[in-house]
């Protein structure tokens, strides 16, 4: 595994438990706004996590959201088609937001 990929994985660690409550408050805020505007709440949830982390893998999104791999993949494809996300391919696929919010 290249040094760049190892460093990329280290940088993408998820938030530790002391900050999980704040993370959940941010996600809940996004969900409340999404409900007010009748948005797809799974899309909004994934959008919230990109707001918090800026770059995530599908595996990390699955761990954060507990959504199925299919839901995550379909959502990411929608974001990519709308030029809101870009994927970096170097052994692992790291998605980063550009115009998501």
Residue 91, domain member (yes or no): yes
Query: Is it the case that residue 57 has pLDDT exceeding 80?
Result: yes
Does residue 46 form part of some domain?
Answer: yes
Provide mean pLDDT across the span 30-45: 97
CATH number of the CATH domain containing 31: 1.10.10.10
> What are the two backbone dihedrals, phi and then psi, of residue 95, each rounded to the nearest 5 degrees?
-95, 135
pLDDT tens for 76-89 read 988 888 888 887 76
Which token pair is 39? 């948005």
Could you give the number of structural domains in the chain?
Answer: 1
Kindly state whether residue 14 falls inside one of the protein's structural domains. Answer: no
Query: What mean pLDDT do residues 44-59 have?
Result: 92
| Domain span including residue 30 | 3-9+19-97
């Amino acid at each position: 595994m290249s040094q760049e990929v190892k460093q990329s994985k280290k940088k993408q660690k998820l938030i530790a438990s002391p900050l999980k409550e704040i993370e959940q408050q941010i996600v809940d805020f996004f969900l409340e706004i999404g409900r007010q505007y009748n948005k797809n709440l799974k899309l909004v949830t994934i959008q919230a996590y990109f707001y918090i982390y800026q770059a995530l893998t599908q595996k990390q999104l699955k761990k954060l959201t507990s959504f199925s791999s299919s839901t995550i993949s379909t959502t990411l494809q929608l974001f990519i088609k709308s030029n809101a996300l870009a994927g970096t391919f170097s052994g692992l696929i790291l998605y980063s937001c550009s115009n998501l919010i």
